[in-house]
Amino acid sequence: MEKSLNIIKSGNINFPLEDYISAEKFKKIKEFSKTHETPFLIIDLERINENYEELSTNLPFAKIYYAVKSNSSIEVLSLLRNLGSSFDVASIYELDLVLSLGVSPSKISYGNTIKKATHVKHAYEKGINLFATDSIEDLINISKNAPGAKVFFRILTDNSSADWPLSKKFGTHLDLAYDLAVKAKELGLIPYGMSFHVGSQQKDVGQWEDAIAKCSSIFKLLKENGIELKMINLGGGFPSRYNYVINKSSEYCTEIAKYLHDYFGKDLPEVIIEPGRSMVGNSGVIVSEIVLISKKNKIDKLNWVYLDIGKFGGLIETLDESIKYPIFIEKKGTPREVILAGPTCDSMDILYENYKYKLPSTIKIKDKVYIFTTGAYTQSYSSICFNGFPPLKSYIL
Ligand SMILES: *Cc1c(COP(=O)(O)O)cnc(C)c1O
C-alpha cells in the first residue's frame, strides 16, 4: 500500500510505473514540469520510432499509412516521413499539412468517405490518386472531381469489443460494395481495393478475420466478373496500453498474417495498414495539476477532484468513460475512490464518475497528475478556446 511511489493505483490499474515509462524518462518529465505551466502533453519520439519499426518488422509486406488524425504535430509527422511512412488523411487540411512537409502525394490516401466536391478536387489537383468511398453519391463525386483515380471500398464491420467503436457511420454492406466497384469502373475510375476498420482499441484480433474473409469474398466475386482488385486495407484498431494488459503488436501481426494467408493464399494483394492509436498512444504523457478537491456535503465520503485538463482540453475519449487512462500521482497514502472532473463550466466535463479511480488520501491542490498513454487523440481533439482555456500544448521529450 505504501509503495504508491512506484505503482499506478487508479481504480483497478495496478501496474508498475515501468510498464508505461522508464524511470529515467519520468525523471526528465518531472524536471520539465517544474518550469512549465500545466496542462501539457509530452511526446517521446523514440517510442514512435520503436512502434514504427516493430510494425514494419512484424508485417513486412504491409505499407504503413499513418492515420494523421491521431496526432498531427509537425514533429511526429516529420519523424514518420523520415522513417518512410505513408499517410492517411481525413481532410484537405491534413493533406496540405503533410504535403508541406515534403511528402510525395503518391504516399497519401484520402481515407475519409465524407468529403465535399471542392475538397476532392483540391486533393486531386495536389496529386492525390487514392480515395476511400462507401456510397454511390461519393463515388460520383470522386469521378467528377478526380477523374481516373483509384478508389477503395470500405465495408461495414461489427466493431464490438472495441473500446472506441467507429461502427455504423462508415462502411457499406457487401452487396453495395460489389455494386460500387462495378459502378466505379463504369465511371472511369479504377476499382482498386477493399478496406475496413474493426474499431479503435480493438481487443479481439478475431475481428480482422471476419473482415478479411468478407473482403476476400468480394475479391473473388469481382474477379469472376472481370474486375481485379489489387489492394486490401486493414485499417487501424491495434490497441495501446491503457488500464489493462494488451497483446503485443507482434501477436496481432502473426494472427493477421495468418488470416491473410488463409483467405488469399499465395495471391496476396497489396496490403495497407493505417495505425493511429498504436503508433503514437504510448508516446505521450499529459502533465496536469489538481485545481480543486471538494465534497458535496459535510459528511460526504467521496471527494471530487478537479484537474486542469478535462474533456475539452484533450481528454474527449473519456466520453462514456470509454478510454481509461492510467493516472499517477507521486504520493504515498491509502488509495481512496474519487470522482475525477475537468476545469470547464460544462457539466459534461466529468472524466470518470462510474468507474472509480483511486488516488492517495494525501493528495492536495496543486499536486501534479501524470496521465499516461495520451499520445493519440488528445492534442488533436483539444478545443481552441472553450471557456477561454488555450488548446493543449505539446512538447517533445
Ligand atoms: C481513425 C482511423 C484510423 C486509425 O485508427 P486507430 O484505431 O487509431 O489505429 C485508420 N483508418 C481510418 C480510415 C480511420 O478513420
Each domain of the chain, given as residue ranges in start order, spans 17-43+281-396, 72-275
Q: What's the gap in Å between 104 CA and the centre of ligand 1?
A: 21
2 Cα to the center of ligand 1, angstroms: 40
- Residue 10, pLDDT > 80, answer no
Centre of ligand 1 from the C-alpha of residue 320, in Å: 20
Separation of 52 CA from ligand 1 center, angstroms? 15
12 falls in which pLDDT band (50, 70, 90)? very low
Instruction: Determine if ligand 1 sits within 6 Å of the CB of residue 111.
Output: yes
pTM value > 0.85: yes
CATH number for the domain whose boundaries are 17-43+281-396:
2.40.37.10
197 touches ligand 1 (CB under 6 Å) = yes
Cβ–Cβ < 8 Å for 196, 157: yes
pLDDT, position 334 = 87
Closest Cα to atom 12, ligand 1: which residue?
235
| 3-state secondary structure (DSSP) of residue 147 | coil
Q: Which atom of ligand 1 is nearest to the CA of 279?
A: 9
Helical spans, DSSP H, in the chain:
23-34, 45-58, 74-83, 92-100, 117-125, 136-145, 174-186, 206-224, 249-264, 277-280
Q: Is 150 in the pocket of ligand 1 (CB under 6 A)?
A: no
Q: Is the CB of 112 under 6 A from ligand 1?
A: no
- Paired sense of beta strands 40-43 and 284-294, if any: antiparallel
Q: Report pLDDT for 123.
A: 98
pLDDT one-digit tens code per residue, 218-244: 999 999 999 999 999 999 999 999 988
Model confidence over 41-75: pLDDT tens digits?
Answer: 999 999 999 999 999 999 999 999 999 999 999 99
292 pLDDT above the threshold of 90: yes
Q: Per-residue pLDDT for 9 more than 60?
A: no
The percent of residues above 90 in pLDDT, for the chain, comes to 87
Residue 290 has what pLDDT?
98
Q: What are phi and psi of 224, to 5 degrees?
A: -60, -20
Beta partners for residue 381, in sequence order: none
Q: How far is the CA of 111 from the centre of ligand 1 (A)?
A: 9
Please give the average per-residue pLDDT across 112-124, as a whole number: 98
Please tell me the distance between residue 236's alpha carbon and the centre of ligand 1 in angstroms: 4
Asked if residue 281 has its Cβ within 6 Å of ligand 1, the reply is no
| Ligand 1 near 69 CB (within 6 A) | yes
CATH topology assigned to domain 72-275: TIM Barrel (3.20.20)
* Average pLDDT of the residues in 85-94: 98
Atom in ligand 1 nearest the alpha carbon of residue 202: 7
Ligand 1 atom closest to Cα of 201?
7
State the CB neighbour count (10 A cutoff) for residue 28: 15
Tens digits of residue pLDDT in 167-209: 678 999 999 999 999 999 999 999 999 999 999 999 999 999 9
